Amino acid sequence: MAGQKSRTALVTGATDGVGRIVAQRLGAEGFRVLVHGRSHERGAAVVRDIARAGGKAVFLAADLASLDEVRALAKAVMATTDRLHLLINNAGIGTAGDAPGRQTSADGHELRFAVNYLAGFLLTHLLLPLLKASAPARIVNVASAGQQAIDFSDVMLTRRYSGVAAYCQSKLAQIMFTLDLSSELEGSGVSVNTLHPSTYMNTTMVRQSGVAPVSRVEDGADAILNLALGPALEGRSGLYFNVLQEARAHAQAYDPEARRKLHALSLELTGLAAGSATA
């Protein structure tokens, strides 16, 4: 992505952890950064950090556990900029062990599926016209090596819940979405790729799950920015990376029927009508 001056990037979950580092580095690269998060205080701090380093940033607040707030975020983005060259769907919640048990979103969906997957699915589709108008543009979906096949008879895990299962299926859903979207975007000048950024980074999410960190947020930021800015990824789409290496995801990601089911379910749950998802 040559000529990064005057380019605009949206980073979700940019007020903490790896998202914050990515936002700061994009600001240093000359991007105008749309910083998303829930906390106005933390958002303002990130914007100040980017400005002090000579960059430009704007904070946009939204709770991705609400699809109405996702829609409002998309509207806020479109009100803030007429071009979007980079979308990084980074926001998410971890396993948090199995405490406090099964939770639901504002729309009644299993919380991890809603925040980690459905929010990004909806936000991306709502912003596709802006991304296409800005081509060449890139989408990066921050997934995980923790992946579990989706049981389409119990996607919301109402029968047998575990935080790990909820997290892992939501991350596989992100990867399946990436592969589908890559086909839809062929020839548009917009590429979409996904990755496991690093294992157990020193983030709030990892600490809350009770796991000792084994890698740094800076390592994860390097991996995300490789997909976002790396010249070797120019024009390449529909890929899954394990940190900096192209890899294979869970087998279900490559099952066309499973992806068809997920796509249909996602359109239904987000209220996007089939055939007009990118309108």
User: Can you tell me the distance from the alpha carbon of 171 to that of 112, in angstroms, rounded to the nearest whole number?
Assistant: 9
Task: Considering the candidates 167, 200, 240, 254, report the single residue annotated as catalytic.
Answer: 167
User: Using an 8 Å Cβ cutoff, are 172 and 250 in contact?
Assistant: yes
- DSSP assignments along 176-194, one per residue: HHHHHHHHHTTTTTEEEEE
- Dihedral over Cα of 143, 126, 104, 266: its sign: negative
Amino acid (1-letter code) at residue 230: G
163-184 helix and 256-270 helix, angle to the nearest 10 degrees: 100
Helical H segments across the chain, by residue range: 17-28, 40-52, 67-80, 111-112, 119-133, 163-184, 204-208, 217-229, 256-270
Active site annotation includes 117: no
Q: Are strands 86-89 and 137-142 parallel, antiparallel or unpaired?
A: parallel
User: Using an 8 Å Cβ cutoff, are 240 and 246 in contact?
Assistant: yes
Positions annotated as catalytic residues are 167
